[in-house]
Amino acid sequence: MSADALDLIPVRALNQATYCPRLYYLQYVDCVMPTNEHVEGGLFDHRRVDDPGLKLKARTEGEAVRTRGVPLSSEKLGVSGVLDQIEEKAGERYPVETKHGTAPRDADGRPTTWDNDAVQLCAQALLLEEQSGQTVTRGFQFYAGSRERVMVEFTEDLRQKTLGVIALCRELSAADKPPPPLPGELRHRCFGCSLAPVCLPEETLYQLNVPEKPEEVSSPTLVRVIPGSDDGAVLYVNEAGSFVGKRSEHLVVKKDGREMTRVPMHAVRQVVVFGNVQVSTQALQTLVENEIPVTMLTGHGKFIGGFQSPPKKNVHLREAQFQRFADPAACLELAKDVVRAKLANQRALLMRSLRSDGERGSEERAARDMADLLKRVEKAESLDTVLGLEGQGAALYFGEFGRFLKATPGRGFDFTARNRRPPKDPVNALLSFAYALLAKDCFAAACTVGFDPYKGFFHVNRHGKPSLALDLMEEFRPVIADSVVITLVNNEMLTPADFLTWKDAVQLTESGRRTFFQAYEQRKATEVTHPVYGYRMSYSRMLEVQARMLAAFVRGTTPRYTGFTVR
C-alpha cells in the first residue's frame, strides 16, 4: 500500500466537513471523538448495518439484492469508506445510507435530504462507480427517525460539491490550527453537537468579539452550549494493601480477600490510588480503553503521575505549545494573567473570611496591600518580577490565613505559617493534600485537551515536574483547595484523631482522607459564574474550560487568555 493510501479520507468525514469544517478538524485532525445521545442513537440505528455477520453477504429481499457493509476505497479520489448498503434492482446498483435523524422538508412539505448527507452519499456513489465501471445516477438516504427513504440524484453540481469538500478536507488536514467556529447564521448547528464541549464555539467567538449575527455591531450575547455537569464519580482508593480488579463491567476493590466496594465502570470518570494499592493489568487496560485516567499519589498524598490513554494523535497543539512557551513575551503575559487571577481570588477569600459586623473585609490592611500588588502585576516587565509579586501576595495571604479558621481553640487547628515537605501541623497537612489533589485534576485537564503537562510558561521546567499543570492550578488554589480546608476546619468535620504524627510530619488517617475526599468532590461540583462568559458551570468543568481556552490562545485562535476569578 502506498503512503498516500494511508491518508485516505473517510467518507463519513465528508459529512462533518460539509456540516462544519471546525467539527472535521477536531474530530479527524485532533482526533477528539466524544459521544452524546445523538451519536449513541446513530450507532443504535446502524446495529443491523454494522452486524459483522451480514457484511459482504448479498441477500435477496423482495425485488432487490442488498449487500451490507461493503468496504471501498480510491487513491484517485483520496477517500475510503464502508458503504452501509449497496442495492441492486433491475440492473441498477446504488448506495443506501442510514441516518439517525429525521428527514428535512422542502418548501412543499416533501421529504428531502440535508446537504451534508447528500455529499456523503454522493462520495459513496463515486467510489461505487470507480469499482464497477458503471455510472451511478441516484442513491437513497434512509432517515430512521422519521422512517423515510429519500432518493438523491447525483447531479453534476452535487458531484462538484463533493469533490470540493474532499479538497477542503485536504486543506484542513494540513492546517496547524482549527478554523473559526461557524458564523452567526449557522450557529444553530452547534446545539446537539457532541464536540460542543471541546469546540467551545460561543466562547471562542466571544473572545474574538465576533457579532452573533452579521448585522450586529455590538458585543455578542453568549449562548450557553456546553454541559454544566460532569458524568461519573471519582473513585478514591487509599487503604494500604487494597487491590483494584475488574469483574465483568465493574471495578472491584478488595482488601485481605474481602470485597470492600464494587462500582460500575460507566459510573467512574477517574480513579485515584494512594500508596500501597495494587491495580490489576486487566483493570488498567479496561480503564485506558474507556479513557478513564488513573492518578497515583504517595501514601502522604504527593502527586506522582497518571496512567491514561495515549496523548492525542495530532501534535499541532503540542508544537504550538512549545513554540509559544519559548517566547518570553508570551510567557510573561500568561504569567501575569494567572498571577493576577490568583491574587484576586486570594484577596476575595481574605475579604470574605475576615468580614465582620460593621466592617468590610476590604478595609483589612492585607486586602489593601494585595490590591496594590494587583496594580503592580499589570506593570511587571519580567517573569522574575511576577514571581516576586506572587510570593509577596502569598506572604500577605498566609499571614492572615489563621484568622480564616474559626475552630475552637485547643483543637489542634492553629495556623501560624505555611510549611511543607513535610507539613508539620494539621492545617498545613490539609493544604498540602488539597494542592496534591488539585494538581492531579489540572494534570488530567491538560492531558484531556492535548497539552504536554510538563512544559509550562510560569513554573520552572524540571525533570518530572508537571509545570503546566502547576501553572493551571494557580488561579484555582484559593477557590478550590483553600476553601475545602477552611470548610473542613470551620465545620469541625475533622478532629485531631484524623491525623497521624510521625517525627515532625503530620498526615491524614485513612478515615480522615475519606472525609476530605467527600468535601473536595463537593467543592468541585459547586457551580460558579464564569467571569468572561457569564454563565454558571461546576469548578470541575471550569478546569477543563480554562485549559481549552489556553489552548485556543496558544494556537492563535483567540487573542488572549483570561484567568478565572470569582465575583
Find where cell 489556553 sits. Answer: 550
Q: Write out the three cell numbers for 9.
A: 479520507
Give residue-wise pLDDT tens across range 155-181: 999 999 999 999 999 999 888 888 888
pLDDT surpasses 80 at 552: yes
Tell me the range of 231-245, 287-301, 335-349 where mean pLDDT is highest: 335-349
Give residue-wise pLDDT tens across range 96-107: 998 877 888 888
**Helix segments in 236-312, DSSP class H:** 281-289
- Averaged pLDDT, 447-475: 84
- Averaged pLDDT, 474-478: 93
User: Distance between CA atoms of 354 and 364, rounded to whole angstroms?
Assistant: 8
Closest CA to 534 of 494, 562, 497: 562
Give residue-wise pLDDT tens across range 383-406: 889 889 999 999 998 888 888 888
The two most distant CA atoms of the chain are separated, in Å, by: 92
Helix (H, G, I), strand (E, B) or coil at 273: strand
pLDDT surpasses 60 at 226: no
Say if CB 335 and CB 469 are below 8 A apart.
no
Helix (H, G, I), strand (E, B) or coil at 124: helix
pLDDT surpasses 50 at 225: no
- Averaged pLDDT, 216-227: 43
Task: Categorize the per-residue pLDDT at 316 as very low, low, confident or very high, splitting at 50, 70 and 90.
Answer: confident
The more confidently predicted of residues 452 and 200 is 452
The gap from C-alpha 372 to its chain's centroid, in whole angstroms, comes to 35
pLDDT surpasses 50 at 212: no
Helix (H, G, I), strand (E, B) or coil at 213: coil
For 489-523, b/e burial (b = at least 16 CB within 10 A) is beeeebeeebbeeeeeebbbeeebbebbbebbeeb
Say if CB 508 and CB 429 are below 8 A apart.
yes
User: Distance between CA atoms of 253 and 278, rounded to whole angstroms?
Assistant: 10
Domains parsed from the chain with CATH numbers? 4-171 (3.90.320), 176-218 (no CATH), 233-307 (3.100.10.20), 316-555 (1.20.120.920)
- What does the pLDDT read at residue 39? 43
- Averaged pLDDT, 194-217: 64
Give residue-wise pLDDT tens across range 269-308: 778 877 778 888 888 888 877 778 787 777 666 777 677 6
User: Distance between CA atoms of 182 and 18, rounded to whole angstroms?
Assistant: 11
Q: What's the mean per-residue pLDDT of the chain?
A: 81
Say if CB 290 and CB 254 are below 8 A apart.
no
Phi, psi of 215 (to 5 degrees): -80, -10
- Dihedral in degrees, nearest 10, Cα atoms 431, 433, 439, 445: -110
Q: Give the containing element (helix H, strand E) for 120.
A: helix 115-132
